[in-house]
């Protein structure tokens, strides 16, 4: 790191600025990700950064934490300009980041992931006992009972996110950047994280918090900054902002997730699940317990529950990724539990998985190839591929789900999180399903992209598509769903219409209602 001896930039007169960006810009060829941004981080406070996917939030945070270098402008720390050559160098100076997309090593256990590259050593080499002791303390702080020796690949996505948070906490940072830290957490786990954040700020740690859960973020923020198209559009203390202020400066207009689609026929069980039971082969724990539900043609059903309620296991079992211990799944009256995943897709049953990076996309493929992957049988004959037929499917899908891309040949990694999610949904819609399962379809996407995704599902339901989507965000239940089913410990505990209240849904899930 290089540190220049120079005068500090003008700081906030009301509270101390520990770190800041000054006229920071970042360009990738002709694309300007950041356009001369000024950004302050206040000591012992939470600075929340709002913005749509592609607004430049993650780019700015990567610059502050040493992941990438700015094209122009400066980063200041403790009153002096700094330039971090790597994240390790940034950590040495007390600046750490929790990335939106998890960066864990799945083949290593929890302990080894937390201390990877920072191993605790003693006379005999690595002190695994001490690492394990500290890992247990970190997980206790997050109120999560995870054995330090558990391989990360065996953990659910929400648990992996908690491990990522624990790793960042272990560094004892002065500035901690949290990029979508709650995207896979339930409301009760968010409360634990918020208590940890307030404990950190009380000790003088500065937090930068990025979240697409706007109401949630409002509860924790002290200062709010809004980015739009790579430039700052607003900056204000908590006392001066509300939800409408955030959305207006983010997108220039208000969004809602719509209401249940009307004016079309809803009849006949497109999907019938009967007495389904799923057991974890490793622990013997019952994940889905004798569960039955129907989804009719043209109907949208929301499945709400906390992490560990069995939502993901139910979805994956219906799609063929997990084997049930008992029960059956019928598609338009025909049993499918003996079919493979590919056979279920051809029969009209498709799943949009919870983890789009791991299970929904091939990172080395283009946007077009990702879109056409699930429907490859429609344009191949033997070993021959019809590029014209494939391009027709790709172009139609890009238009149908409104993917914002430079073209089918663009790298999938060049897209924002919201557009990547549209690609995953579009890929499965290209198979022409009659039943679509979506596990946390809005995870890690902004309010505008979320509205577009839910609007797309509503339109597809009008054409007869049966939709079952799961969520851990209560506001998403009260939108386009005709029915809301609450899942708790593998069982359905309540059923509501969209006219119910958030409090009723949360109470049925066993979740404490936060005033």
Sequence ranges of the domains in the chain: 2-94+174-251, 105-172, 267-348+433-508
Angle between helices 387-400 and 417-429 (to 10 degrees): 120
Q: What is the pLDDT of residue 491?
A: 93
Q: What is the pLDDT of residue 513?
A: 42
Q: What is the pLDDT of residue 3?
A: 40
Predicted confidence (pLDDT) at residue 347 exceeds the cutoff of 90: yes
Predicted confidence (pLDDT) at residue 506 exceeds the cutoff of 80: no
| Secondary structure class of 294 (helix, strand, coil) | strand
* 308-332: average pLDDT: 93
C-alpha 127/C-alpha 121 separation (Å) is 5
Q: 2-94+174-251: CATH homologous superfamily?
A: P-loop containing nucleotide triphosphate hydrolases (3.40.50.300)
Residue 250 to residues 39, 244, 276, 375, 508: CA-CA distances in angstroms? 16, 10, 43, 36, 34
Given pLDDT bands bounded at 50, 70 and 90, which one contains residue 255?
A: low
Predicted confidence (pLDDT) at residue 236 exceeds the cutoff of 90: yes
Contact between residue 457 and residue 259 where contact means Cβ atoms under 8 Å apart: no
C-alpha 356/C-alpha 157 separation (Å) is 11
Strand partners, 494: 486
The larger pLDDT score, comparing residue 514 to residue 163, is at: 163
Predicted confidence (pLDDT) at residue 11 exceeds the cutoff of 50: no
* 470-478: average pLDDT: 83
Q: What is the pLDDT of residue 12?
A: 39
pLDDT tens sequence across 103-139: 789 899 999 999 998 899 989 899 999 999 999 999 9
Q: How buried is 414 (Cβ within 10 angstroms: 0-12 exposed, 13-18 middle, 19+ buried)?
A: middle
Predicted confidence (pLDDT) at residue 7 exceeds the cutoff of 70: no
Predicted confidence (pLDDT) at residue 284 exceeds the cutoff of 50: yes
Q: CA nearest 301: which of 491, 460, 495?
A: 495
Q: What is the pLDDT of residue 254?
A: 53
Distance of CA 22 to the CA centre of its chain: 29
Sequence-ordered list of residues with C-beta below 8 angstroms from that of 274, at least 6 positions apart, any chain: 292, 327, 328, 329, 330
Q: What is the pLDDT of residue 253?
A: 55
pLDDT tens sequence across 16-31: 899 999 999 998 777 7
Q: Percent of the chain scored above 90 by pLDDT?
A: 47
The larger pLDDT score, comparing residue 445 to residue 292, is at: 292
Least confident stretch, 313-327, 393-407, 442-456, 490-504: 442-456
Given pLDDT bands bounded at 50, 70 and 90, which one contains residue 8?
A: very low
Scanning 93-143, the segments in alpha helix (DSSP H) are 110-114, 128-141
Q: What is the pLDDT of residue 307?
A: 67
What average pLDDT does the structure give for the chain? 86
Predicted confidence (pLDDT) at residue 9 exceeds the cutoff of 50: no
Tally DSSP H helices, then E strands, for the chain.
16, 25
* 179-190: average pLDDT: 77
The larger pLDDT score, comparing residue 307 to residue 127, is at: 127
What global pTM score does this model have?
0.63
Assess whether the region 2-94+174-251 and the region 267-348+433-508 belong to the same CATH fold: yes
Q: CA nearest 138: which of 173, 174, 165, 98?
A: 165
Predicted confidence (pLDDT) at residue 512 exceeds the cutoff of 60: no
Q: What is the pLDDT of residue 510?
A: 66
Strands (E), 31-79: 31-42, 46-50, 72-77
* 449-465: average pLDDT: 90
Contact between residue 69 and residue 148 where contact means Cβ atoms under 8 Å apart: no
Q: What is the pLDDT of residue 6?
A: 37
Q: What is the pLDDT of residue 5?
A: 36
C-alpha 301/C-alpha 293 separation (Å) is 10
Predicted confidence (pLDDT) at residue 1 exceeds the cutoff of 50: no
Predicted confidence (pLDDT) at residue 10 exceeds the cutoff of 50: no
Q: Which fold has domain 267-348+433-508?
A: Rossmann fold (3.40.50)
What is residue 401's DSSP assignment? Answer: T
* 297-306: average pLDDT: 92
């Amino acid at each position: 790191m290089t540190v220049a001896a120079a005068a500090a930039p003008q700081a906030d007169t009301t509270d101390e600025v520990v770190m800041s960006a000054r006229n920071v810009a970042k360009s990738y060829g002709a694309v300007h990700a950041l356009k001369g941004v000024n950004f302050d981080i206040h000591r012992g406070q939470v600075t929340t950064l709002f913005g749509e996917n592609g607004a430049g939030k993650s780019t700015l945070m990567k610059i502050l934490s040493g992941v990438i270098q700015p094209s122009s402008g400066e980063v200041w720390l403790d009153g002096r300009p700094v330039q971090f050559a790597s994240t390790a160098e940034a950590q040495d100076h007390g600046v750490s980041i929790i990335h939106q997309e998890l960066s864990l090593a799945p083949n290593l256990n929890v302990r080894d992931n937390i201390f990877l590259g920072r191993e605790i050593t003693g006379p005999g080499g690595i002190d695994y006992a001490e690492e394990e002791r500290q890992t247990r303390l970190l997980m206790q702080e997050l109120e999560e009972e995870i054995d330090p020796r558990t391989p990360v690949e065996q953990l659910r996505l929400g648990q992996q996110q908690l491990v990522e948070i624990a790793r960042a906490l272990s560094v004892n940072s002065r500035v901690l950047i949290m990029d979508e830290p709650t995207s896979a957490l339930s409301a009760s786990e968010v409360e634990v994280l918020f208590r940890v954040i307030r404990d950190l700020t009380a000790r003088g740690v500065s937090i930068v918090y990025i979240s697409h859960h706007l109401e949630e973020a409002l509860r924790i923020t002290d200062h709010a900054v809004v980015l739009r198209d790579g430039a700052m559009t607003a900056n204000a203390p908590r006392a001066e902002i509300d939800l409408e202020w955030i959305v207006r400066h983010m997108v220039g207009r208000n969004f809602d997730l719509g209401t249940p689609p009307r004016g079309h026929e809803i009849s006949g069980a497109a999907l019938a699940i009967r007495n389904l039971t799923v057991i974890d082969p490793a622990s013997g724990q019952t994940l889905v317990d004798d569960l039955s539900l129907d989804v009719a043609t043209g109907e949208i059903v929301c499945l709400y529950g906390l992490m560990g309620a069995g939502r993901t296991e139910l979805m994956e079992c219906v799609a063929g990724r997990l084997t049930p211990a008992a029960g059956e799944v019928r598609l338009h009256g025909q049993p499918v539990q003996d079919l493979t995943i590919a056979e279920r897709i051809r029969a009209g049953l498709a799943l949009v998985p919870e983890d789009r990076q791991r299970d929904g996309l091939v990172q080395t493929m283009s946007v077009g190839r990702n879109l056409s992957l699930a429907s490859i049988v429609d344009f191949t004959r033997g070993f021959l591929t019809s590029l014209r037929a494939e391009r027709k499917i790709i172009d139609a899908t890009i238009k149908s789900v409104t993917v914002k891309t430079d073209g089918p040949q663009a790298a999938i990694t060049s897209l924002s999180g919201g557009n990547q999610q549209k690609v995953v949904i579009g890929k499965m819609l290209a198979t022409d399903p009659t039943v679509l399962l979506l596990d946390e379809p809005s995870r890690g996407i902004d309010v505008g992209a979320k509205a577009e995704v839910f609007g797309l599902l509503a339109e597809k339901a009008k054409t007869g598509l049966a939709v079952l989507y799961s969520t851990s965000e209560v506001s998403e239940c009260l939108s386009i769903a005709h029915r809301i089913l609450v899942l708790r410990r593998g069982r359905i505990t309540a059923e509501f219409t969209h006219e119910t209240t958030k409090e009723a849904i949360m109470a049925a899930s066993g979740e404490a209602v936060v005033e």
